[in-house]
Structure 1
């Protein structure tokens, strides 16, 4: 095992970020990663590839193989509470429309390897939207127990709007508050991928396109529409283009237009405030364009 430990090098940028965010506990977790990864390699019968590890803000991904099959070992920071839910959702989907889960333990997932260089962002927006909308319908299966329902977003909006100096025009906030109470329990109650954007659908070999990094919830599938609107808003050159994209997503996924519009308005206001809270400028502008086109 010591030989495998020496081959597992945590990227410096990732280590620095975890130390910046979590202080001593982040440094301790990063220091533990090589030995933990080596243990999992042994227990799960894996061979470490020579490819460079990938990482996000909270996740380190190692390239591995088992019996010749390319896989990835995903290790999540202790503060990332989504790993258990992700495993529940992936087991329920069982590879139908999503990356396949082969093994799991708290904070660690062994997944089939997809192509991280080819997401739906590499396709024209209309083609990408059709594929994403079909995935919404594919993933809408009976939800397994143990997952949270949809968040009560609207309840948080007035205080956040006031605290930030009211960056969102009042008419959009009023519409979001009007939709809010009726959205949580309306429509189908199915398993949904609550972070389904174009970057979270990657090319695979088992199936052409598969969703990754789910945040599984149970509720109405219309909840997934807003991210597919704002995520490629820069590719939509007019308000009419935005309206056409919304109509296309609704039609292909077979969703309720009014319920989808309610989630678009509510989640766009929420994301606008989220971006403003963090000093971002691009995401609030994208949300504004979507809102002007659909609710203006």
Structure 2
């Protein structure tokens, strides 16, 4: 194909890894979309004058294909329709490469985005937890610019969850002491009001931050919210808590994140408590077994 390097899209064979087919995302359906992925990649390569330059990688529900055009390197990211591509494209356009992967083009209706190429094999998961935590804290602050008014508010999300947590706790058989629930509700009362209108990434953790070239580390798959930048502090910790030893070490990593982000310690603790209890209940309802225990360890420590 004129202007492309390497094999053109018509000659490129894209295989869907079995590991992608085995993801829980597809247990309830989606085989037709998976079977059609090679044709979909071919169509968008033709549309955007791209050449496939590597094998498909994936997360839980998105396929990522290395591609190039006129010597420039990108990736195609493909998800089934209705999986929030429009919101994600809006988030990437809003941050416009400030701490995030840069969006080059998007077909929101088709579930496809063309993105800046990052090192898909190098995320913060590969760094020791003591190195990763300050980077995530600084990323919270890096993304904290004035947010659009129409995006979800962290305070409104907390208020909505506050209304249902006690009922979920009862339905799930009171899986932890009532005092723990009370602690979360007390924290939620404080968090359901905020004056902050800063941008927040509502899905921040080590696996979502990849090695870049423009900046050392760049966030992928952000969820744009506004309000309190400490919103996802709990997730930052529980996703790496298996690498943390005793409660003292957990607290040390907690302090490293809040210090790097410039967050008040007690305020950060409120967010950890509320989100950990919320996720604990969600995890039990979803049939998870390991994540609720991670939340328990985190709550016990902080």
Q: Same fold (TM over 0.5)?
A: yes
Match of 1:96 among 98, 109, 113: 98
Does the C-alpha gap of structure 1 residues 100 and 30 become closer, same or farther in structure 2, counting only changes over 3 Å? same
Superposed CA deviations along residues 100-123 of structure 1, whole A, max 9, x for unmatched, are 111111111111121222111222
Residue 120 of structure 1 corresponds to which residue in structure 2? 124
Partners of 2:92 and 2:184 in 1: CA distance:
31
Aligned 8 A contact 1:85 1:215 in 2: yes
Partners of 1:36 and 1:235 in 2: CA distance:
39
Query: 2:246 aligned with 1:244, yes or no?
Result: no
Does the C-alpha gap of structure 1 residues 3 and 145 become closer, same or farther in structure 2, counting only changes over 3 Å? same
Residue 68 of structure 1 corresponds to which residue in structure 2? 71
Alignment of 1:160-199 (within 5 A): 160-199=168-207
Partners of 1:206 and 1:119 in 2: CA distance:
15
Superposed CA deviations along residues 42-101 of structure 1, whole A, max 9, x for unmatched, are 22221112x221123321111111222221101111241x21111111111111111111
Q: TM-score, normalised by structure 1?
A: 0.89
Count of aligned positions: 289
Structure 1 residue 19: Cα displacement: 5.6
Specify every segment of 5 or more residues in structure 2 that has no aligned partner in the other structure, as ranges: 2-7
Superposed CA deviations along residues 182-216 of structure 1, whole A, max 9, x for unmatched, are 31331422111111111111111222111111122
Does the C-alpha gap of structure 1 residues 6 and 132 become closer, same or farther in structure 2, counting only changes over 3 Å? closer
Match of 2:14 among 8, 11, 15: 8
Structure 1 residue 4: Cα displacement: 2.5
Residue 114 of structure 2 corresponds to which residue in structure 1? 110
Partners of 1:190 and 1:92 in 2: CA distance:
12
Q: TM-score, normalised by structure 2?
A: 0.88
Partners of 2:206 and 2:21 in 1: CA distance:
28
Secondary structure at the residue paired with 2:16? coil
Query: 2:41 aligned with 1:53, yes or no?
Result: no
Aligned 8 A contact 2:9 2:51 in 1: no
Q: CA RMSD in A?
A: 2.2
Aligned 8 A contact 1:88 1:144 in 2: no
Specify every segment of 5 or more residues in structure 1 that has no aligned partner in the other structure, as ranges: none
Does the C-alpha gap of structure 1 residues 158 and 41 become closer, same or farther in structure 2, counting only changes over 3 Å? same
Which is richer in helix?
1
Residue 4 of structure 2 corresponds to which residue in structure 1? none
